[in-house]
Amino acid sequence: MKSIYSILTICFFLGLGLISCSEEELEKREASGDGKHLQITISTTPSRVSTPMTKATKEDTERVNDLSVLIYDNSGNLIQEESKYYSTNGDNEGLSDLSGESTDDNEVSHTYTIPIEPGDKKVYLLANAGDVRNVLGTEESVKKYSVGLNGLDPQLVMFAGGQSFNVGNGNSQVSARLVRIYSMLTVQVNTGNLNSGVVITPLSLQLKHIPNQGYVTAPNKIGSNSVECVEEGTIIEAGNSSDFLKEGHDQAIPLFLYENMQGNGNNTGVHKDDESYKTPPTITEATKDREISGKDRTCSYIELIAKYSGGESKTDNDKIIYRFFLGENSYNNFDVERNCYYKLTLNLAGNGGTDEASWRVTKDFMGVITVSDAYVGYVAGSKTYIPIVGDIGDVVSYEITTNVVDDDKNTIFKGENLEKVSDTEGRFYVSALKNNINDYDNGRRTCTVTFTMKSGTQYTAKVTQVPRLVDPIAIFKNAKNTNPSVIKVKEYSAKTKNYDLLSSVGPWSATIESYSGSSGCWFEICNDEGRADQQGSVIRGDGPVTFTYQPKSENNNSDDRVSNKNLSFAQDLNNADKARYGVILVKYHNEQCEHRIYVRQGYQPTTMGGSVWSMFNCLGEQSNGQQAYTSYPTETGWLFKGACDIAMSPYEPGYEENPNTSLPCSDGRNRSFEAIPGSGPREGVKNWVSPSGVAQQGPCPEGYRLASGQDFYNLFQNSTAYTGYVYDDDYPSGGNEDNLPYGYRMGSSGHEIVAGTGNHCNPAKGSLLVNKNGSSIFFTYGKGIKTKPAGGDNNLIDEIGVGHRGPDDRSKNSNGRYSRMGYLKYYEFLNWTSGNIEEHTYGAYYWGATKFSDSDRLSRVNFSYDLLDPNVEESYVDWDSSKGHTGIDSYLHGSFVRCVRSN
């Protein structure tokens, strides 16, 4: 082999300083060679810190105990014979030179001679990591290489890399700068401005939430590339305060941690200059609530515990805890950057921050407590607790002093009990007495809890009952769909008048609560923090509640009408009850509030309440004389006059528009509502219900009949109804969930909804009926758009889902008959002739094929959703004349149709 000797100059860059340090790696020098030598020079530049490092642990940051010089060919493979390793236990050439202290007047350097063959190559350097030549065999492996902790301290590894060279082209000289992959921190405490009599004596200093590993290439951060959070890092305990109260940082004991680049937080508003509002990026709104900030698991901070006397303290044994997030500033940045030296000085003034109600300061004083606000779920009976920190034994009373009431003057909240967790920690439990199903009136339901101490001092905390979440309530996929879906849990925003991504106050979790089948969980959920694929397994996060759901395999129990377009309804009946189900339990706002998402794979017919239900609505008789049906559960059905098999459009003309003669019908013709053939006064409903009261086939497919009022009643009795948005796999051709919503869009105002053409409506709002086994059936509210009502306000979001055509109550003629028919409008009230109109209610009617003594009346199935009233009954059916039910006139109303198996 032809040996070519070259010189390598490595410039050891000590970049410890408060200013964010640049990572200068290997750089080419502007010098030409003779084509036979590569010059690589190693030198040490002075530290950014001007004071000498006198402590042994600081001296370790100067020391180079070993050095790996790694040479890679043009394909990224290590050239073993050209790569070198120097160690104090072997060939130690130059290591003592590189370990010397560098100053502005004395740059330490050393020159190595290494045989190099011509060719395009790259060089990387790794110090204090041992001989890695047999570990880092490829250039790609260097980029993925990380080192763990040495106890609780980082390994003092330095790195430089990635410079190309070719000695054959005269490129014979490069210089390298080693960069530490960790940071150093010293802390000083300034107590010179405390009030007279206040004495604060530091007892311990500890790093918290440190990365468990450091990658040699930047950036390194908790929550990325399997870097996890270690709750407690190195602690320094003092027998006295001397180690903490030195005048200079040069005498302080340093702490070390790997780089943790978390970026900027969200303290950019009115509190942007208030250090107590420094809030981690995982929390979307700036806060100083200790229960919120304290739950973050990504940002590194220090915790100083000190003895406190004087001021508020009643004894000489009180303690105070200070916590400070690390970063480039004290307001908004959370970057702990490699190769940087952070000097933190705590300037304590007045009473030492005891009046600051934030995560940064916790008092352990006799007769003093700190309380935090809390959230409780929307379901009656939900419980939460107010966290209490401090002298729990000094609390003499606690009560709800301000409580909201509902429209019936019933109180909403009840105080339960005070639990003593320890001498310095407690929980006061509060329960909700009423459901809060209204997702519009955010923040209305609150109570104030007052805690009174022996001294008479009072502390207050607020409890808020969250409204029900409605987006999403379910994710449906066909039997063969195994594509992942990104679930974004949303809440209604009164500010944007839209459903926006929910940001959890404190941590959230998602748990696989249940699944169907005996062969194991058929789906998984995951996010950047982890993966769950078994019953009871959990993923967690902070801030925005979003994660990925994905079936592990196809549902091989059977096809369905979406996965197999050639499958007839009659054939599909043989596949009844072969769908797969699951429940994902989401807990948010410090995991105190619950929301369930129901998942389903397969659109096969489903048995619930003793009937086998189709998943699809009817579309009516087409121009070819054949009946048609929706292709997806979210697609809107069309509306039928009672006992008529020709249907009418559920969205054209729009909300409260007089259809006159322009109402599109399923057979391709336009008619007025009254001219649609079918039932009418004295015509009866025999087309849908036999003289003996048996539900007929009507517009249903082969093997099915119309669902009767009793079918619906049995369904309601054996299931729970949830209102909200359901997503399925109805996308534009070639599209995916990124193209949603499909079939409608948001208007120019940002909160109005505009219906597109066709029956597509994904996601659809409606009622999901779920039984105890997790089986579910969805009843869409259709594609009608609720826009500004006549004479009403428009302070709310326009809503999709107005599944009813009927008379305009305000337009009766002199003989009491309705002069305008077929209006797209939804009425919640049972009294159709009273003229009372609830403008903020919407939903859908479905026909029940059960007739009453008046042969022109059929059973009405009501799926209701009121925008303002949290106490409205959301689903009911009037089908039993013995209970005073009368149904509705079949010839005055247009409703949806759903079918069940005929036998």
What are the pLDDT digits (tens) for 188-233?
887 777 888 888 888 888 999 999 999 999 899 999 888 999 998 8
The last residue of a domain, from among 137, 165, 180:
180
Q: What is the pLDDT of residue 363?
A: 46
Residue 879 has pLDDT above 70, yes or no: yes
- Residue 847's Cβ-side half-sphere holds a number of Cα atoms within 13 Å equal to 40
In a domain, 506, yes or no: yes
Q: What's phi and psi for 572, nearest 5 deg?
A: -65, -25
Q: What is the pLDDT of residue 814?
A: 60
Q: Which of 156-165, 276-285, 789-798 is predicted least confidently? A: 789-798
Based on the domain organization, do 277 and 339 belong to the same domain?
yes
Tell me the pLDDT of the chain averaged across its residues: 80
If pLDDT is split at 50, 70 and 90, which confidence band does 886 have?
confident
In a domain, 460, yes or no: no
Q: Measured in whole angstroms, how far is the alpha carbon of residue 645 from the centre of its chain?
A: 45
Q: What is the pLDDT of residue 477?
A: 95
Based on the domain organization, do 728 and 866 belong to the same domain?
yes
Q: What is the pLDDT of residue 456?
A: 80
The answer to whether 8 and 112 have CB atoms below 8 angstroms apart is yes
Q: How far apart are CA 177 and CA 698, in angstroms?
A: 82
Q: What is the pLDDT of residue 101?
A: 66
The answer to whether 384 and 375 have CB atoms below 8 angstroms apart is yes
The answer to whether 335 and 327 have CB atoms below 8 angstroms apart is yes
Residues linked to residue 422 through DSSP beta bridges, in sequence order: 425
Q: Is the peptide bond before 211 cis (omega within 30 degrees of 0)?
A: no
What digits encode the pLDDT tens for the residues 657-703? 888 778 999 999 999 888 887 544 545 688 898 888 899 999 999 99
The answer to whether 46 and 13 have CB atoms below 8 angstroms apart is no
What digits encode the pLDDT tens for the residues 78-137? 999 999 999 988 888 878 877 776 555 566 677 777 888 888 889 899 999 999 999 999
In a domain, 227, yes or no: yes
Based on the domain organization, do 316 and 399 belong to the same domain?
no
Mean pLDDT for 142-164 is: 90
Q: How far is CA 802 from CA 428, 570, 751, in A?
A: 44, 31, 17
Q: What is the pLDDT of residue 752?
A: 74
The token pair that represents 769 in the structure block: 């009926």
Q: How far apart are CA 89 and CA 65, in angstroms?
A: 9
In a domain, 268, yes or no: yes
In a domain, 461, yes or no: no
Q: What is the pLDDT of residue 852?
A: 82
800 C-beta neighbours (distance < 10 Å), count: 27
Based on the domain organization, do 375 and 262 belong to the same domain?
no
Mean pLDDT for 68-73 is: 93
The last residue of a domain, from among 604, 629, 649:
604
Q: What is the DSSP letter of 248?
A: S
Question: Which stretch of DSSP H or E encloses residue 668?
Answer: none
Q: What is the pLDDT of residue 751?
A: 65
Tally of structural domains, the chain: 5
Based on the domain organization, do 721 and 805 belong to the same domain?
yes
In a domain, 462, yes or no: no
Q: What is the pLDDT of residue 397?
A: 80
Q: How far apart are CA 146 and CA 166, in angstroms?
A: 28
Mean pLDDT for 463-488 is: 92
Q: How far is CA 233 from CA 18, 80, 362, in A?
A: 21, 38, 20
Q: What is the pLDDT of residue 34?
A: 47
The answer to whether 260 and 221 have CB atoms below 8 angstroms apart is yes
The C-alpha angle with vertex 147 and arms to 144 and 153, in degrees rounded to 5, equals 150
What digits encode the pLDDT tens for the residues 540-590? 888 899 999 999 999 988 888 888 888 888 888 888 899 999 999 999 998
In a domain, 253, yes or no: yes
The token pair that represents 154 in the structure block: 């980082």
Q: Measured in whole angstroms, how far is the alpha carbon of residue 732 from the centre of its chain?
A: 26
Based on the domain organization, do 168 and 277 belong to the same domain?
no
Q: Say if strands 301-309 and 318-325 run parallel, antiparallel, or are unpaired.
A: antiparallel
Q: How far is CA 854 from CA 685, 817, 850, 858, 885, in A?
A: 10, 18, 11, 9, 11
Q: How far apart are CA 208 and CA 229, in angstroms?
A: 9
What digits encode the pLDDT tens for the residues 599-634? 999 999 999 999 999 999 999 999 999 999 999 999
Q: What is the pLDDT of residue 847?
A: 93
What digits encode the pLDDT tens for the residues 253-303? 888 999 999 999 877 766 777 777 888 888 877 777 766 777 788 999 988
Based on the domain organization, do 728 and 762 belong to the same domain?
yes
Based on the domain organization, do 740 and 866 belong to the same domain?
yes
Alpha helices by DSSP H, 739-820: none
Based on the domain organization, do 732 and 818 belong to the same domain?
yes
Nearest to 22 by CA among 340, 255, 258, 300: 340
Mean pLDDT for 328-338 is: 86
In a domain, 19, yes or no: yes
Decide: helix, strand or coil at residue 464: strand
Q: Which of 522-526, 550-554, 855-859 is predicted least confidently? A: 855-859
Q: Which of 41-45, 508-512, 749-753 is predicted least confidently? A: 41-45
Q: What's phi and psi for 131, nearest 5 deg?
A: -80, 110
Residue 408's domain spans which residues? 369-455
Based on the domain organization, do 712 and 840 belong to the same domain?
yes
Nearest to 302 by CA among 356, 245, 343, 272: 343
Higher pLDDT, 68 or 865: 68
AA letter at 363: K
The answer to whether 738 and 745 have CB atoms below 8 angstroms apart is no
Q: Is the peptide bond before 653 cis (omega within 30 degrees of 0)?
A: yes
Nearest to 567 by CA among 523, 610, 615, 611: 615
Based on the domain organization, do 700 and 666 belong to the same domain?
yes
What digits encode the pLDDT tens for the residues 447-459? 888 888 877 878 8
Q: Is the peptide bond before 219 cis (omega within 30 degrees of 0)?
A: yes
The last residue of a domain, from among 580, 604, 628:
604
Nearest to 390 by CA among 358, 360, 423: 423
AA letter at 685: V
The answer to whether 111 and 1 have CB atoms below 8 angstroms apart is no
Based on the domain organization, do 785 and 697 belong to the same domain?
yes
Q: In the chain, what's the furthest Cα-to-Cα distance?
A: 113
Mean pLDDT for 522-541 is: 90
Q: How far apart are CA 430 and CA 373, in angstroms?
A: 11
Q: Which of 302-311, 633-642, 891-900 is predicted least confidently? A: 302-311
What digits encode the pLDDT tens for the residues 373-406? 888 888 888 888 888 877 777 777 888 777 666 5
Higher pLDDT, 415 or 216: 216
3-state secondary structure 550-608: EECCCCCCCCCCCCCCCCCHHHHHHHCCCCEEEEEEEEECCCCEEEEEEEEECCCCEEE
Q: Listing from the earlier edge strand, what are the strands of the sheet with 229-237?
A: 229-237, 199-211, 301-309, 318-325, 361-364
Q: Residue 313 maps to which CATH number?
A: 2.60.40
Q: How far apart are CA 658 and CA 618, in angstroms?
A: 24
Higher pLDDT, 679 or 147: 147
Nearest to 55 by CA among 252, 302, 209, 345: 252
Q: How far apart are CA 677 and CA 660, in angstroms?
A: 16
- Strands (E) across 168-225 are located at 174-180, 182-194, 199-211, 213-215
